[in-house]
């Protein structure tokens, strides 16, 4: 089972289908609790641990992936303490960015709740070292990502403003990697790359990276000995408005989620 506040976690599911195509999946969107990034740590921890506790009891998943950077950086340890189900978190791809950066200057776009976490501080200390991690809270990118999935146009000015905020930092002009530190943001990767080069004049060599493929590989490694016999279709569940969620039915069906329900 994968949990996100909305549909950003579909970026993880897309990669998971590549490495575990036969695994049955439940995708859970806590749209009634969205956004997590503007809530306090206590609110997020209580929301995520309580919701996953109830979902684990109802659906009995073999593994849970918290496919949300904010929820993972805040609530991962708490959820692991209260559930016996294996839990995989999603954190900003600081390690791979630092390992491949040539300039040592890395940008991080995430929610306010993610970029201020001690977990991110620890990743920076361990992997960035003497390099520079420039953080910017860009929660305004979440809604364009959701709009894109609904077939609505994306406002390039919103994307440009977020990228400009990174380059306004000292050393910002030396950024050679931008970490998409929210699972929603990779949905906008093509648009961000296009805006960076053609609207802002960035070098086309700047890389936009996220951790979805690595998370999928981690899930696959934990489930490598599992046998699958799907008895029911894979499905998506929302805590929010069901009719609104059904507007994404085509996208969900493309990822093998043929049924949509409410929790």
107 band by pLDDT with thresholds 50, 70 and 90: very high
pLDDT digit string, tens, across residues 239-261 = 999 999 999 999 999 999 999 99
Indicate the angle between helix axes 212-222 and 10-19, nearest 10 degrees: 50
Catalogue all structural domains in the chain, each as residue range(s) with its CATH number: 2-90+213-262 (3.40.50.1860), 94-210 (3.40.50.1860)
pLDDT-derived band at 34, boundaries 50, 70, 90: confident
Which of 76, 98, 182, 213 is the catalytic position? 182
Which pair of tokens denotes residue 29?
């969107």
> Whole-model pTM?
0.91
Annotated active-site residue in 26, 29, 68, 163:
68
Q: Is residue 65 among the annotated active site residues?
A: no
Choice among 79-93, 202-216, 219-233 with the minimum mean pLDDT: 219-233
Return the DSSP state at 153: P
Q: Tens digit of pLDDT for each residue in 139-193? A: 999 999 989 988 899 999 999 999 999 999 999 999 999 999 999 999 999 999 9
Three-class SS state of 258: coil
Please count the CA atoms within 13 angstroms of the CA of 128 that sit on its side-chain side.
Answer: 23
Q: Calculate what percentage of the chain has a pLDDT beyond 70.
A: 100
pLDDT at 37 over 90: no
Residue 84 in 3-state DSSP? coil
């Amino acid at each position: 089972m994968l949990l996100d506040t909305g549909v950003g976690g579909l970026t993880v599911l897309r990669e998971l289908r590549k490495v575990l195509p036969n695994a049955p999946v439940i995708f859970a969107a806590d749209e009634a609790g969205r956004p997590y990034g503007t809530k306090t740590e206590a609110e997020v921890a209580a929301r995520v641990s309580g919701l996953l506790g109830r979902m684990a009891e109802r659906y009995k998943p073999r593994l849970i992936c918290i496919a949300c950077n904010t929820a993972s950086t805040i609530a991962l340890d708490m959820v692991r303490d209260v559930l016996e189900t294996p839990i995989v978190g999603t954190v900003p791809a600081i390690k791979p960015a630092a390992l491949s950066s040539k300039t040592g200057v890395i940008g991080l776009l995430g929610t306010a709740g993610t970029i201020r976490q001690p977990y991110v501080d620890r990743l920076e200390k361990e992997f960035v070292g003497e390099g520079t991690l420039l953080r910017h809270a860009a929660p305004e990118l979440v809604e364009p990502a959701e709009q894109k999935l609904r077939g609505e146009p994306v406002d390039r000015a919103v994307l440009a403003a977020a990228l400009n905020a990174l380059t306004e930092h000292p050393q910002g002009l030396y950024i050679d990697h931008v970490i998409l530190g929210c699972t929603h943001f990779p949905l906008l990767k093509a648009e961000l790359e296009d805006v960076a080069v053609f609207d802002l004049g960035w070098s086309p060599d700047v890389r936009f990276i996220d951790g979805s493929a690595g998370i999928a590989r981690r899930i696959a490694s934990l489930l490598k000995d599992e046998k699958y016999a799907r008895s029911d279709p894979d499905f998506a569940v929302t805590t929010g408005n069901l009719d609104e969620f059904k507007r994404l039915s085509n996208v969900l069906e493309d990822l093998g989620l043929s049924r949509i329900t409410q929790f």
